[in-house]
Amino acid sequence: MAAEKPLVSVTCTAPTNIAVIKYWGKRDEKLILPINSSLSVTLHQNQLKTTTTAAISRDFKEDRIWLNGKEEDVGHHRLQSCLREIRRLARKRRSGSDGDLVPLSYKVHIASVNDFPTAAGLASSAAGYACLVYTLAQLYGVESELSEVARQGSGSACRSMFGGFVQWHMGERPDGKDSIAQQVAPESHWPELRVLVLVVSAERKPVSSTSGMQTSVETSSLLKTSGHTPILLPSVLALDSWIISENWLIALQFRAESVVPGRMAEMARCIKERDFEAFGQLTMKDSNQFHATCLDTFPPICYLNDTSRQIISLVHCFNAYYGKTKVAYTFDAGPNAVIFTLEETVDEFVAVIKQVFPPEMNGDKFLKGLPVEPVELSEEVKSALPMEPFPGGIRYIITTQVGPGPQVLEEPQRQLLGPDGLPKPVS
């Protein structure tokens, strides 16, 4: 019987995802309900993932969590929201089975590790909370809709609950029950699609996504519909949720109402038909609009740096040389670029990147992930590049592809917690 086991543990992995139609701004801060729907690409876990081990034991005195080897405050409200909801679902599922109820009173220990930079604009929170929720669900035997739970930890985490191409429906209900993720196409749908993660900086971004969203919603005119006079009282953003009633006139969002619905439909079409040119152009336009909103925020939020802007220029020059969209960029809330292209273009464009951003001292570690063949660039291509070489502008490149959703690890040696429920020493 489960109650007699001194320790029960589960280890899982979960992917990060990169939005091609961005979500920026919440209508409910507590439940993390977005002001617009979004669509993302799940990246392969062979290159980027979070690994989490969760264990319960009658010997544990309190809930504890370690992130990347450092113990963190388990009382964080988002973490508690996920843990509380998983336990509630487990209790609901086990009602009438008294023998299985005892472990729910046990405390839980959680250890989680990212194999890519944390809080640097690479959706580490998405992978982290998706992995947390999926691992806890496996541990407690929960089989419910999990994207809604993951959303309460990090909005974009709901999209990391699926592989392939995923849309997050903004929903309409105030309780958030219809604000869930849904797979648009599996990871096998577009096998030629490749992703290059250009790591410009692994440092923590100066303005968190949560703080940036709040300020943008409060101050950016690009998030308000023209013709409506919004009333945004200073106390609105401090509420647990926005109260929509005759006493409140909530700002209607221009991007959410007038732009995103059409872009969501068009992006779904691009993916379905594997139309890379249209996919790439729309991806870049939506990234640009997101960062324009950040700049329209007051004070302005500048997630991009000089290297980011050089990458943007490089992409457009490369496409202009060929007279079509062969590569496309997108940037989340950070300076690191994510490049989409097709398999046939990877080798040449990586050579272009190395020409403009030659590695300074880590040449043998500059390329990570899927293999890339060396290519000698023609003089015509070199002459089309927009700038002089900038050594060290890009720290390294991760080459990857579209990948699956969360997975359970069966191998005991990959567990992050030892038999005592404490993190294993790093070897």
252 and 216 in a single domain? The answer is: yes
231 and 294 in a single domain? The answer is: yes
Q: Is the pLDDT of residue 21 over 90?
A: yes
Q: Average of pLDDT values for 129-144? A: 95
Strand 396-401 relative to strand 193-199: parallel, antiparallel, unpaired? antiparallel
**pLDDT score, position 210:** 59
CA distance 113 to 130: 13
Residue 356 within a domain: yes
180 and 225 in a single domain? The answer is: no
350 and 243 in a single domain? The answer is: yes
Q: Average of pLDDT values for 96-105? A: 60
Residue 194 within a domain: no
**pLDDT score, position 275:** 98
- Given a contact cutoff of 8 angstroms between Cβ atoms, the answer to whether 161 and 182 are in contact is no
Q: Average of pLDDT values for 149-171? A: 97
Q: Is the pLDDT of residue 99 over 60?
A: no
Q: Is the pLDDT of residue 248 over 80?
A: no
144 and 182 in a single domain? The answer is: yes
Residue range of the domain that includes 271: 209-401
**pLDDT score, position 254:** 73
101 and 169 in a single domain? The answer is: yes
**Lowest mean pLDDT segment, chosen from 71-85, 213-227, 260-274, 281-295:** 213-227
244 and 163 in a single domain? The answer is: no
**pLDDT score, position 399:** 97
Residue 256 within a domain: yes
**pLDDT score, position 174:** 94
243 and 178 in a single domain? The answer is: no
Residue 298 within a domain: yes
Could you read off the pLDDT of 38-51 as tens digits, one per residue?
999 999 999 999 99
Q: 246 pLDDT band (50/70/90 cuts)?
A: very low
Q: 253 pLDDT band (50/70/90 cuts)?
A: low
Could you read off the pLDDT of 261-307 as tens digits, one per residue?
999 999 999 999 999 999 999 999 999 999 888 888 888 888 899 99
Q: How many CA atoms lie within 13 A of 274 on its CB side?
A: 11
Residue 423 within a domain: no
Burial label for 259, CB within 10 Å (0-12, 13-18, 19+), is: middle
**pLDDT score, position 215:** 65
Burial label for 95, CB within 10 Å (0-12, 13-18, 19+), is: exposed
| pTM (global) more than 0.75 | yes
Q: Is the pLDDT of residue 205 over 70?
A: no
Q: Average of pLDDT values for 375-388? A: 90
For residue 300, is the peptide bond before it cis, meaning its omega torsion is within 30 degrees of 0?
A: no
48 and 141 in a single domain? The answer is: yes
**pLDDT score, position 237:** 34
**pLDDT score, position 202:** 64
| Amino acid code (one letter) for 72 | E
Question: How many structural domains compose the chain?
Answer: 2
Radius of gyration of the chain (CA): 22
**Diameter over CA atoms, the chain:** 75
| Amino acid code (one letter) for 259 | V
179 and 241 in a single domain? The answer is: no
- Given a contact cutoff of 8 angstroms between Cβ atoms, the answer to whether 133 and 146 are in contact is yes
Backbone angles phi, psi at 339, to 5 degrees: -110, 130
220 and 115 in a single domain? The answer is: no
**pLDDT score, position 89:** 93
Q: Is the pLDDT of residue 30 over 60?
A: yes
Burial label for 225, CB within 10 Å (0-12, 13-18, 19+), is: middle
163 and 67 in a single domain? The answer is: yes
Burial label for 32, CB within 10 Å (0-12, 13-18, 19+), is: buried
CATH of the domain at 167: 3.30.230.10
Q: 333 pLDDT band (50/70/90 cuts)?
A: confident
What distances in angstroms separate CA 245 from CA 172, 248, 249, one per listed residue?
A: 15, 5, 8
